[in-house]
Structure 1
Amino acid sequence: MKRLLITRPLPDAVVAAARDAFHVTVRLNNLPMQSDELRDALRNFDLVLPTLGDVFDAGVFADVDTPRCKLLANFGVGYNHIDVAAAKAAGIAVSNTPGAVTDATADVALTLILMSARRAGEGERLVRSGGWKGWHPTQMLGLHVTGKTVGIVGMGRIGQAIAARCHYGFNMPVKYWNRSAKDLPFEATRVERLADLAGQVDVLVAAVPGGAQTHHLFDADIFEAMQSHAHFINISRGEVVDEAALVAALQAGKIAGAGLDVYEFEPRVPEALRKLNTVTLLPHLGTAALEVRSQMGMMAVDNLLAFERGETPPNQV
């Protein structure tokens, strides 16, 4: 049997399915793999199932002359932590798990939109602190979401799922920024320039993949372009946001609030960001539901099984 390394503990059903076909080693550590571990994984295992934070960059592949590993079956839709070009040059295929994450991630985006707009995190902290003095007509007035305009940046599977929830669930006009126009089942307006979109919407949602092309896509200019009552939401990757610029915009009141599930230097969250009442902070909960994580794991196993049969994995990238 081929040797498979699973780099983090996964749901039991996923590990059991993998054990049916492979000699499995599960790394019992929830932190990202370190430098030596990454290189040893390529040398000592036929297959590796890595995930977010396991940074297989060009330097890792360059240090392993003849890797035993032939497939990195990534657990997650995003794979910007893997240098795919360097992997292919080393004779290693890469796959991911799209589709399974779409609805769960879109749900968290809506959670953050509502929490940020209605100041739910701030309100919960007020109640827990014992400082709430009771209801009154002007208490913690936030943004009424229904009927407001949402701007989706990146109209892929997840972006479309978020837009559909906003459109059908909250009667929100949808505008979006994307490299190409999309044929959508609901009315949506494509805006050519991101800064223009930022200035036209009440809620701006980041739903783009990570990578060099989107690094700091949301910078000081974008936050400056946003309306003062608007909210910024990020469920994509932390590095698409210039976090210092976001903190500055929130501190100066240039935007009303933000809802974040990911961070530029995750898991480190700047103290300045944590101190702000106008930001809702979640610990990367995008796909954190047992059935979703199980589906992701089974999709990764399907990729491994196809590769073992000599077929192209269904989700090869």
Structure 2
Amino acid sequence: MPSGRLSVVVTRRLPDVVETRLKELFDVRLRDDDTPMTREELVAALREADILVPTLNDHLDASVIAQAGDQLRLIANYGAGVDHIDVATARQRGIQVTNTPGVLTEDTADMTMALILAVTRRIPEGLAVIETGQWKGWSPTALLGGRVSGRRLGILGMGRIGQAVARRASVFGMQVHYHNRRRLREETEDALQATYWESLDQMVARMDVLSINCPHTPSTFHLMNARRLKLMKPSAVIVNTSRGEVIDENALTRMLKAGELAGAGLDVYEHGSETNADLRALTNVVMLPHMGSATVEGRLEMGEKVIINIKTFADGHRPPDLVLQSMD
């Protein structure tokens, strides 16, 4: 452990309160502008810092981590997902990795329900009519959406966020179904009024709304591929607030254009910020700029977890949010 204050490099702008606290505790280098570091800048930071605080935009693969200096001992990720970090390589080099789980559960679940409502009730189309001055008054047949109450919601991934979505959906009168790598305890299922499906294929074929709430791992890449998307009912809606790579975006776009799916609500995309132009042009698709976790409260709580992980590590103890292995 280096003597004196630890050298911490932060790769993106963080909320002022978080940055101020980091400066009070550590020898910290902050980012002047809110743009991702280049690969070269990341490597330079890894060679300089005792601790790196990256975000999901920073791709720390094996070749980047291999260039880290011997002094780097902790990667304190600002975010829950760690699929952008080669955790195994980091651990081989004696570098610990932490994340910020749990604090974004409610915010992301709120956004999932917002997207379900936005797509099924055609809210963006209504906004467009107002914003373009086309609205001429109420009409009994204009912008008819669908009632969410009574619809079957299939949740793919029943972790913290999936369960939070289930609780909200039940209040809206939706029937909750789920597929998960492991079945929940019976008492948890009962509390959520959720029906488990061992077969993902059978579940998606019967749902009115499908919510993607599983992480991106090698085993979930394109889990919703073209074959599985085609199992969905033409009247069904798919919503994704998890990771874009879980859905084959090209196949999804083709089906939406062909009317083989009723709509989609997306907050994440297969290629990050590079969104599909054909997808953007569709009126039955609601697209958001990865803002599912974007609340003041959530961002501050993420910062608090980062600081606690660093401080615990600096004090010679095991950080509370230590990531033990890559997700698979």
Which bracket does the TM-score occupy, shorter chain normalised? over 0.9
Which segment is superposed worse, 292-301 or 187-196? 187-196
The residue type equivalent to 2:172 in the other structure is F
* AA matched with 1:166: A
197-206 vs 122-131, which moves further: 122-131
Percent of counterpart pairs with the same letter?
44
For residues 6 and 25 of structure 1, what CA distance do their matches in structure 2 show?
6
Q: What is residue 246 of structure 1 aligned with on the other side?
A: 252
Measured after TM superposition, the shift of residue 136 of structure 1 is 1.2
Superposition pairs of residues 91-130 of structure 1, within 5 angstroms: 91-130=94-133
Please give the per-residue CA displacement for 1:111-163, whole angstroms capped at 9, x wherever unaligned.
10000110111211122122223221111111210121100000000010001
Matched, 1:192 2:190: no
- State the one-letter code of the partner of 2:281: K
The reply to whether residue 54 of structure 1 matches residue 43 of structure 2 is: no
Conserved 8 A contact 1:32-1:52: no
Unaligned 5+ runs, structure 2 = 324-328
Show the counterpart of 2:145.
142
Distance 2:226 2:272 in 1: 20
2-structure distance, mates of 1:113, 1:157: 18
- Rounded Cα–Cα distance in structure 2 between residues aligned with 1:186 and 1:2: 45
Of 163, 166, 172 in structure 1, the residue corresponding to residue 166 of structure 2 is: 163
Find the partner of 2:180 among 178, 181, 187: 178
Q: Is the 8 A contact 1:102 1:158 kept in 2?
A: yes
Q: What secondary structure sits across from 1:212 in the alignment?
A: coil
3-state DSSP class of the match of 1:201? coil
Question: Could you say if the C-alpha distance between residues 67 and 218 of structure 1 is closer, same or farther in structure 2, counting changes exceeding 3 Å?
Answer: farther
User: 1:46 deviation in Å?
Assistant: 0.4
| Structure 2: distance between partners of 1:45 and 1:26 | 12
Query: For residue 317 of structure 2, what is the aligned residue in structure 1?
Result: 311
Distance in 2 of aligned mates of 1:119 and 1:28: 40
1:220-271, Cα deviation, whole Å (9 max, x unpaired) = 1222111111110000011111110110110011110000001111211111
Q: TM-score, normalised by structure 1?
A: 0.97
Shift of 1:67: 3.4
Unaligned runs of 5+ in 1: none
Question: What residue is the counterpart of 2:24 in the other structure?
Answer: 20
AA matched with 1:47: I
Whole-angstrom CA distance in 2 between matches of 1:276 and 1:136:
23
2:229 equivalent to 1:226: no
Equivalent-residue separation in structure 1 for 2:212 and 2:33 (angstroms)? 30
Q: Do the aligned residues in 2 keep the contact of 1:150 with 1:201 (CA within 8 Å)?
A: yes
One-letter amino acid matched to 1:97: T
Separation in 2, partners of 1:298, 1:174: 33
Q: Distance in 2 between matches of 1:190 and 1:31?
A: 42
Q: Distance in 1 between matches of 2:135 and 2:230?
A: 33
Is the contact between residue 71 and residue 92 of structure 1 (CA under 8 Å) also seen in structure 2?
Answer: yes
Match of 1:2 in 2: 6
Stretches of 4+ aligned residues off by more than 6 angstroms: none
C-alpha contact (below 8 Å) 1:154/1:208 kept by paired residues: yes
More off after superposition, 29-38 vs 278-287:
29-38
Q: Distance in 2 between matches of 1:10 and 1:262?
A: 21
Range with greater deviation from structure 2 (186-195 or 106-115)? 186-195
Asked if 1:82 is matched to 2:85, the reply is: yes
Aligned length: 315
Contact in 2 for aligned 1:3/1:22 (Cα 8 Å): yes
Take 1:54 and 1:33, find their aligned partners in 2: how far apart are those partners?
Answer: 7
Residue aligning to 1:42: 46
- TM-score between the two structures when normalised by the length of structure 2: 0.94
